[in-house]
Amino acid sequence: MKKSFILIIAFFSVFPYLFADNDSVVIKRNDGYTMADNLDSLLLSWYYYTGRDTLTFLNPSDRYTFNTEVSDSVYAERIKKIETPLDLTYNKNVQKYLDRYVKNGRWIAPKFLGLSHQYFPMFEEKLDSYNMPLELKYLPVIESALNPRAKSPAGATGLWQFMFKTGQGMGLEINSYVDERMDPEKSTDAACRYLKSLYETYGDWTLALAAYNAGPGVINNAIRRSGGATNYWDLYPYLPNETRNYVPGFIAIVYLFTYADQHGYKPEKIEFYDDVDTVMITQELHFAQLDSVLGIDIGQTRDLNPQYKMDIIPAKSQAYPLRMRRQYISKFIELEDSVYNFKDTIFFNPQKYTYKPDEKFVDYAPVAEQPEGTIALTYTVKSGDAVGLISSWYGVDIARLKAWNGLSGNNIRVGQVLKVYVPQALESKYKIVNNLTFEEKQRMIGINPATNTPKEEPMDPDYEYYTVKSGDTPYGISLKYPGTTSDEILKLNGITNASSLRIGQKLKIRKKS
């Protein structure tokens, strides 16, 4: 698994990445929803708790008060006291990297400490499951500066810097669309299995680390040239320069994390989402479809799913995982078909769509595919109009209205002409909508413009009813009534737009038994 020793160059090559708000792997949490919305995920959140709320984070002024003047003898004594199955030796080669990452670590150390709270809990869980030393969690700091998209000049990729053939050999999928070397969880599992196999080969964790960097062939050649030495430091003169630096650098990083407090180092506060779950994707999906239909920013989806190289999940013959914030899960389930169908003829047609790795928002060309049995009408946007209002006036789904008009978001402008497809049988009903006043359009859908409240229909004593609460969706409501589907509820209440539910609205659910 030969690759360059890249901590120095990798860190500085991704230095802007670590500091950038938009491109960073660690992404900001939005707390704009209530505790009530979070109750169903509290238990799951507990399992992923990292203790970040108990940390003391770095203040800007702290950066100039670090205690970095430590004698060599103190370094040596402290390294000797680190309790680990790994052979951590102190010498002048290790000191060179202690100078780099500890003595001169004003900018690097707090970043590493901050990023560690995103990845270390997962690393530790995987290492523990394989009964391996937990100190191996520091290896990705050396390998990638904790950047899942890191790529060395030799082609090693991901947090654990797998080479192409080694990654494939460990069962990681690597093709034009997917590179699981950049999947934090799958690459961590592969790295644990690979490191364990190297340890079983050499019976020594230090040699296993050296072989992880240089490849077993290089280590075997060094053993032969040395006359059969099996200690890393005895092999040191026979190793390539990058591997000579690799283990000393690793020892220095272990020291940094173990004794950070002794030097006054505190983690830089790097915020990230901690309310993430996984759904399985069963059809081809483009990240821009999530942006357009659910409002999930493309950059956010990329950060949570770095293994998808072209913003496409190629789920043609197998399902693939997609990580997203839990607040979007129910909406995705409800609108899954709309997500898959949104401009699929554009995104999966190479002649019409070109992948742009840095795009954050794209106004894609409209797709005017007319559903069977419909007739095309036009509507001119007026002051005060909104996409949701227009969709309700025509009885169409918001996602469909946006797809027909090439809208990637909800922004529309006065005077803009929108195309709307309605059933041929209802042409006369909807043909007049464009010429109605706002009040007339609201009355047409049963809302009193004076109070902006819907006209209440009398309750049928033969049916069960449900009163809509904050955060409810048709799918979520259907789960409360086994044997009932969201489509049945919508049809029973004459609702064509699933997003038009109102708090306090009484929905007819099913006939009483």
What residues are labeled active site?
143
The pairing of beta strand 320-325 with beta strand 276-281: antiparallel
Cα–Cα distance for residue pair 166/179, rounded to 1 Å: 13
Alpha-carbon distances, residue 363 vs 350, 366, 389, 403, 509 (angstroms) = 17, 9, 22, 12, 40
Beta bridge partners of 419: 378
Q: Which amino acid is at 457?
A: E
| Helix, coil or strand: residue 64 | helix
Q: Which pair of structure tokens corresponds to residue 89?
A: 């030796």
Cα–Cα distance for residue pair 248/246, rounded to 1 Å: 6
Do residues 211 and 201 touch, judged by C-beta distance below 8 A? yes
CA nearest neighbour of 113 among 325, 323, 263? 263
Which residue has 């004076």 as its token pair?
Answer: 450
At residue 486's C-alpha, the angle toward residues 482 and 491, to 5°, is: 120
Beta bridge partners of 312: 286
Strand spans (E) along 282-345: 285-286, 312-313, 320-325
Q: Which pair of structure tokens corresponds to residue 181?
A: 């070397």
Phi then psi dihedrals of residue 312, to 5 deg:
-120, 135
- Write out the H or E segment, with its range, that includes residue 327: none
